[in-house]
Amino acid sequence: MDAPGFLGLSARDFERAPAVAVLPIPLELTVTFGGGTARGPAAILEASQQVELYDRELGREPVLDYGVATLAPLATTADPATAVDEIARAVAERTAAGAFVLSLGGEHTLTVGAVRGVLRARPGGLTVVQIDAHADLRARYAGSAYNHACVARRLLEESRVDQILQLGIRSVATEEAELIAAEPERLRVWWAEEIHAGGWVAELEERLSGRDVYLSIDVDGLDPALVPATGTPEPGGLDWSQALAMTRAISRAAMVVGMDCVELAPSPGLHHADFAVAKLLYKTLSFIHCPPGGTA
Ligand SMILES: [Mn+2]
């Protein structure tokens, strides 16, 4: 592959097979406002070349413990339902082979396929944790059930998704607010202002304790001051330390079995956004695969 791998590394850099498979999915079919998310995966990979491998918090180069290899970008067809199936198949195949798949988007719709792929490859229930500005709980949007505004609604329809925990949400439609009120068991939303007020970690960890988790990071969950390069930016988002506290808590409390990062729409002059996303992903992979005090 000509494009650089995540962190500039490839399977050849590790003695044993890397635990993490980075899968670029340049999906852009149902974008509603600003476009450009198809270029997200390449921008994250490019920016990751500049991320220091040494992690001060962990006191070493954690990626050397678990290993990461970047796959060729996944080509998908133009029909969203078919594209979701193709993504499910690709993620299921890698997950069943023992890899931890980090899908890089691309639009949020890919999460429906990636979660279905993890469900296919693993037994039992799954908690989905979604860091996002938006609840994505609409039944349909712009004529499609596979619009990026409907991702969590499709996942709620999966019987083996035990619960969906949403963090940093600050924009919902009426039908979404009503659904959130009606489904307190399977749907827990921490609004952005609850995150800013603090004290959310204990309940989050309680909800996650002992669970298998799929983590979806929509970069618009972060504040636009940190990541302005996204299609539907919303003020009032997470700052850097809140985002790290979040993925640290999730990794500590639960067993994260799959992950994605979506909706980066790289823009000239905003390369700090690409870098912040790449660094957040490296930190999060290390939290998941190198728990503090433990070994990979
Ligand atoms: Mn969003």
6-289 architecture in CATH?
A: 3-Layer(aba) Sandwich (3.40)
Backbone angles phi, psi at 212, to 5 degrees: -85, 135
Q: How far is the CA of 170 from the centre of ligand 1 (A)?
A: 10
At 274, list the tokens. 């690409």
Q: How far is the CA of 105 from the centre of ligand 1 (A)?
A: 12
What's the chain's Rg over C-alpha atoms? 17
What distance lies between CA 152 and its chain's CA centroid?
Answer: 13
Cis-peptide into 237, omega within 30 deg: no
User: Which of 220, 31, 27 shows the shortest CA–CA distance to 113?
Assistant: 27
Q: How far is the CA of 158 from the centre of ligand 1 (A)?
A: 20
DSSP letter string over 114-174? HHHHHHHHS-S-EEEEEE-SB----S-BTTBTTSGGGHHHHHHT-TTEEEEEEEEE-B--H
Dihedral through CA 190, CA 248, CA 280, CA 137, nearest 10? -30
Q: How far is the CA of 151 from the centre of ligand 1 (A)?
A: 10
Rounded CA separation 202/204 (Å):
5
Q: How far is the CA of 31 from the centre of ligand 1 (A)?
A: 11
Q: How far is the CA of 287 from the centre of ligand 1 (A)?
A: 23
Q: How far is the CA of 64 from the centre of ligand 1 (A)?
A: 32
Angle CA(139)–CA(169)–CA(32) in degrees, nearest 5? 50
30 close to 142: Cβ distance less than 8 angstroms: yes
User: Which of 169, 254, 168, 162 shows the shortest CA–CA distance to 205?
Assistant: 254
Q: How far is the CA of 201 from the centre of ligand 1 (A)?
A: 22
Q: How far is the CA of 13 from the centre of ligand 1 (A)?
A: 35
Amino acid 2: pLDDT: 58
Q: How far is the CA of 82 from the centre of ligand 1 (A)?
A: 22
Residue with tokens 């990751």: 48
Q: How far is the CA of 21 from the centre of ligand 1 (A)?
A: 24
Angle CA(225)–CA(228)–CA(229) in degrees, nearest 5? 155
Q: How far is the CA of 19 from the centre of ligand 1 (A)?
A: 28
Helix residue ranges per DSSP H, the chain: 40-48, 63-66, 80-96, 110-121, 151-156, 174-182, 192-197, 201-208, 240-253, 271-289
The ranges assigned to domains in the chain are 6-289
Q: What is the pLDDT along the chain (296 residues), one digit of tens a residue?
A: 457 899 999 999 999 999 999 999 999 998 777 789 999 999 999 999 999 999 999 999 999 999 999 999 999 999 999 999 999 999 999 999 999 999 999 999 999 999 999 999 999 999 999 999 999 999 999 999 999 999 999 999 999 999 999 999 999 999 999 999 999 999 999 999 999 999 999 999 999 999 999 999 999 999 999 999 999 999 999 999 999 999 999 999 999 999 999 999 999 999 999 999 999 999 999 999 997 655 44
Q: How far is the CA of 232 from the centre of ligand 1 (A)?
A: 7
Q: How far is the CA of 293 from the centre of ligand 1 (A)?
A: 34
CA atoms in the 13 A half-sphere facing the CB of 155: 39
Q: How far is the CA of 153 from the centre of ligand 1 (A)?
A: 13
CA atoms in the 13 A half-sphere facing the CB of 192: 18
Q: How far is the CA of 171 from the centre of ligand 1 (A)?
A: 9
